[in-house]
Amino acid sequence: MRRRRIYEGKAKVLFEGPEPGTLVQYFKDDATAYNAQKKGVITGKGVLNNRISEFFMLRLAEIGIPTHFVRRLNMREQLVRQVEIIPLEVVVRNVAAGSFCERFKTEEGTALPRSIVEYYLKNDELGDPLVTEEHITAFGWAATQDLDDMLHLALRINDFLSGLLMGVGLKLVDFKLEFGRLWDEEEQMRIVLADEISPDSCRLWDLKTNEKLDKDRFRRDLGSVAEAYQEVARRLGVLPEA
């Protein structure tokens, strides 16, 4: 069946869903980094991220985190609820890495005194700048209540996923979340977790060796990129049969 394409991102495509208020989220093998200056393909990534993100969304729903996820449809697609995406990337950091190290000249791997939550504006032209609550509320990207909800959800997600991943020998260094607004029949709005949670959007290090098992392997040309994603899927028990 040919479905209407609603939006094409760097790693995913959104199609019109089978019922009103739903979308089909298709996971591509395409990878980009550094605001799409670096481009490539990680063969099989879409299949793995579809499974890994499904797994995380289902576990989070079990602890009462509202998400856009409905069900996985096939190897590369999942059915999700259509939400109004809040134009922010919510990053939670437990250990210094990536742009945090560049900004503060911190050594990679330094444990942070507590989990730090940051907001970035989703804007490719501007290169997703770091923004404060003041910018967010003044420009109306989100209301104070929305921000409060996102902060609390992000911290709960961090606590839960950190423990879950530690159980399979992985350290959750940092990750990025996106949220959306969803209205129910009574026109009540609530904030729900959207997008995906996968090795594209998380930094995951082996607990014992600190080996990187995430997109940093692609960003930094470390090799064995697909193998790293497979290893994460294997540890979570969601590696598809070959």
What letter represents residue 180's amino acid?
G
SS3 per residue for 163-202: HHHHCCCEEEEEEEEEEEEEECCCCCEEEEEECCCCCCCE
Count CB atoms within 10 A of the CB of residue 146. 19
Task: Rank residues 83 and 92 by Cβ distance to ligand C5P and give the closer one.
Answer: 92
> At closest approach, how far in Å is the CB of 128 from ligand C5P?
5
What is the smallest separation between the CB atom of 158 and ligand C5P, expressed in angstroms? 12
Interface residues with ligand C5P (CB under 6 A)? 89, 91, 97-100, 128, 174-176, 201-203, 215
CA terminus-to-terminus distance, the chain: 26
CA distance 14 to 6: 5
| Identity of the residue, 45 or 203, whose beta carbon is nearer to ligand C5P in the bound complex | 203
- Report, in Å, the least distance between residue 2 CB and ligand C5P: 30
Give least dist CB 34 to ligand C5P, A: 9
Which residue has the closest beta carbon to ligand C5P?
Answer: 98
3-state DSSP assignment of residue 3: coil
Report how far residue 2's alpha carbon sits from residue 188's, in angstroms, rounded to the nearest whole number.
Answer: 33
Helix (H/G/I), strand (E/B), else coil: 65: coil
Between CA 131 and CA 135, with CA 134 as vertex, the angle to 5 degrees is 45
| 17 vs 95 by CB, closer to ligand C5P | 95
Closest CA to 180 of 136, 149, 135: 149
The helix/strand/coil state of 35 is coil
User: Which C-beta is closer to ligand C5P: that of 135 or that of 190?
Assistant: 135
CB of residue 20 vs ligand C5P: minimum separation in angstroms?
30
Name the residue nearer to ligand C5P (CB basis): 44 or 199.
199
Closer CB to ligand C5P, residue 86 or residue 97?
97
Q: Which is nearer to ligand C5P, 157 or 202 (CB)?
A: 202
Tell the smallest beta-carbon distance from residue 201 to ligand C5P (Å).
Answer: 4
The two counts, helices (H) then strands (E), for the chain are 6, 14
Rounded to a whole number of angstroms, the minimum distance from the CB of residue 89 to ligand C5P is: 6
